[in-house]
Structure 1
Amino acid sequence: MARLAFGLLASALFLPTLSQAADIIEPIPVVEPAPYSGWYIRGDVGYVFESKTDGHWAFYNQFPGVEGIDDYYRYDELRLDSTASFGAGVGYRFSDMFRVDATVDYFRTDVNGKTKCPLMIKTDYAHGLGPFDECDYYNKSEADVWTIMANAYVDLPTFGIVTPYLGAGIGTAYVGYDDVKTQEKCPTCKPGYVPYTSTSTGADDWRFATSLMAGASVDLTQSLALDVGYRYTKIYEGDAWDYDSADKSFGAVGVQTKDNGFDIHAIRAGLRYSFF
């Protein structure tokens, strides 16, 4: 009984001391994340794969008395060679899953084309060809292509520091052709026939464009991410080049050849910097 009384007395003496010790233990501070503004900038370089399309062109008849557009023909093949691209943009993140940006991209490429000579040309006296003999026009130029796009992205669940994403864009594309050189080739033409050659002024215009994207970003730091992805861009039809000087001397005006647009496939890599 005496031992129990002594224990109770000792506990009573130590309770105030323990209470005071608990009072001086400071709570663990909670570190608040740095405020995120939502804004980011980006820069990209890419590899644009070769792209092929076709088109249509107007044949201008120079024969006196019947000058004018005689017919419209299919342009068989127009090719943009593979090349490098460069881009930049600014964006805003609304949530962990959704962000948007506006981008400007540019590439310059060689342009090569080929189409068959019209039947009336192949069978004229100077050529001396039959309707099934070979005769083609080869065209060569260069082109500048700019795209200005508004894009939206959905960021998928993150795996460690890697975040896959899907995106789509809508905007406009500027396509500007340099002067176009034309060379006629007809291996079985009459001996002594001089193949047709000419130079036409390249055309330029603004066109409608859409795009689809897929890729992944890799967090390098809190603010900086490496972005690697694929982008498909559909550039719609537009002007390619004007009539040559010979046609113009007989009254031809305007654009002679139009392309049917391009399907641009590109692999891109770049950096995104987010502002905190």
Structure 2
Amino acid sequence: MVRLVLALMASATLLPFAAQAADILEPIPVVEPAPDFSGWYIRADVGYVFKSKTDGNWDFWNQFPGVEGIDDTYRYDELRLDSTASFGGGVGYRFSDMFRADATLDYFRPDVSGKTACPYMIKIDAAHGLRHQDECYYDEGSKADVWTAMANAYVDLPFFGPVTPYLGAGIGAAYVQYDDRSTQEVCPSCKPSYTPFKATSEGTDDWRLATALMAGASIDLTHSLALDVGYKFTKIWEGDAFEYDAADKSFGAKGTQVRDNGFDVHTIRAGLRYSFF
């Protein structure tokens, strides 16, 4: 009996210490997994390509018997692309919350127009009846299909909630295909009996180097869908534009007559990005 009483007294003495020890042992916190920023995404864009100017040169083929050949090379006074719409899409991968890359394909089809002075040998032709200072020039028109295939890298700045500004750069290739060119001579001071020159020549196509810079911001619409609004500058390098007309070819002209000096393309665009997290 005495032993039982002593055991009960000892247990009662230790109870406060056991409760205090239980208070010291706090529960282990549950660590939330870090958000996964990596994954594939697809994109689709529409844009507005602003009117832009470029430069170019063309070879004057002398048709005079016995001296057929390139007489001189002339520069355009004006060569421009008109404004138009652009369409594009691509697939990309996000490596982290600040870095992603994608491959894109874009297309636009602008009107192309040019103006260049009549060569000296044309102005002194007796049929024109011009003085040296009289105006004479060629108006030219065409269209061009322009495709760009680019590899791009971006730095995102995810510090503003659902709005994420970004900067990007890209490099790739442009495929430029010209339609036929129409040429119309404009000669206000020519003799009334003179019929102004008019001709059509075939367009050429080629692949060129292209580079790009981008800036914009994406706005989260849902966890996976974002609206992307931004500006893109694309530099397309120089290349061939048009062949000689039929009359020049009949006198032995071959190859490319007109070359452009490339394009500086300014585009604002908006699109959607869908991420597969």
After TM superposition, is the score higher than 0.5? yes
2:237 is the counterpart of 1:236: yes
SS in 2 for 1:246: helix
How does the TM-score come out when normalised to structure 2?
A: 0.89
2:33 is the counterpart of 1:32: yes
State the match for 1:224 in structure 2.
225
Letter in structure 1 aligned against 2:56: G
Is the 1:36–1:275 contact (alpha carbons within 8 Å) kept by the matching residues of 2? no
State the match for 2:5 in structure 1.
none
Is the 2:232–2:268 contact (alpha carbons within 8 Å) kept by the matching residues of 1? yes
Letter in structure 1 aligned against 2:85: A
Q: How does 1:36-75 map to 2 (within 5 A)?
A: 36-75=37-76
Q: How does 1:62-101 map to 2 (within 5 A)?
A: 62-101=63-102
Letter in structure 2 aligned against 1:151: N
Deviation at 1:167, TM superposition (A): 0.9
Quote the Cα distance in structure 1 between the aligned partners of 2:39 and 2:227. 17
Quote the Cα distance in structure 1 between the aligned partners of 2:21 and 2:154. 56
State the match for 1:142 in structure 2.
143
2:150 is the counterpart of 1:182: no
SS in 2 for 1:103: strand
The alpha-carbon distance between structure 1 residues 192 and 27, as it changes in their structure 2 partners (threshold 3 A), is same
Please give the per-residue CA displacement for 1:109-155, whole angstroms capped at 9, x wherever unaligned: 11111111011101110111112110010111111000011111111
Deviation at 1:10, TM superposition (A): 8.5
> Aligned residue pairs: how many?
268
How does the TM-score come out when normalised to structure 1?
A: 0.89
2:96 is the counterpart of 1:116: no
Quote the Cα distance in structure 1 between the aligned partners of 2:232 and 2:13. 75
Deviation at 1:230, TM superposition (A): 0.3
Deviation at 1:14, TM superposition (A): 7.8
SS in 2 for 1:175: strand
Q: List structure 1 runs of 4+ shifted beyond 4 angstroms.
A: 9-23, 25-31, 33-37
The alpha-carbon distance between structure 1 residues 16 and 191, as it changes in their structure 2 partners (threshold 3 A), is same
Deviation at 1:37, TM superposition (A): 4.4
SS in 2 for 1:121: helix
The alpha-carbon distance between structure 1 residues 97 and 34, as it changes in their structure 2 partners (threshold 3 A), is closer
Quote the Cα distance in structure 1 between the aligned partners of 2:171 and 2:42. 19
Give me the identity figure in percent.
70
Letter in structure 1 aligned against 2:168: G
State the match for 1:168 in structure 2.
169
Please give the per-residue CA displacement for 1:170-217, whole angstroms capped at 9, x wherever unaligned: 111111110011000100001110000000001111111111111111
Quote the Cα distance in structure 1 between the aligned partners of 2:18 and 2:226. 55
Please give the per-residue CA displacement for 1:149-172, whole angstroms capped at 9, x wherever unaligned: 111111124212111111111111
The alpha-carbon distance between structure 1 residues 115 and 96, as it changes in their structure 2 partners (threshold 3 A), is same
Quote the Cα distance in structure 2 between the aligned partners of 1:95 and 1:29. 24
Quote the Cα distance in structure 2 between the aligned partners of 1:170 and 1:20. 64
Deviation at 1:16, TM superposition (A): 6.9
SS in 2 for 1:137: strand
2:152 is the counterpart of 1:151: yes
Gaps of 5+ in 1: 1-8
Is the 2:37–2:96 contact (alpha carbons within 8 Å) kept by the matching residues of 1? no
Q: Which moved more, 1:152-161 or 1:175-184?
A: 152-161
Please give the per-residue CA displacement for 1:230-264, whole angstroms capped at 9, x wherever unaligned: 00011111111000000001110001000111100
Letter in structure 1 aligned against 2:169: A
Please give the per-residue CA displacement for 1:86-120, whole angstroms capped at 9, x wherever unaligned: 11111122222221111110001111111110111
CA RMSD of aligned residues (A): 2.4
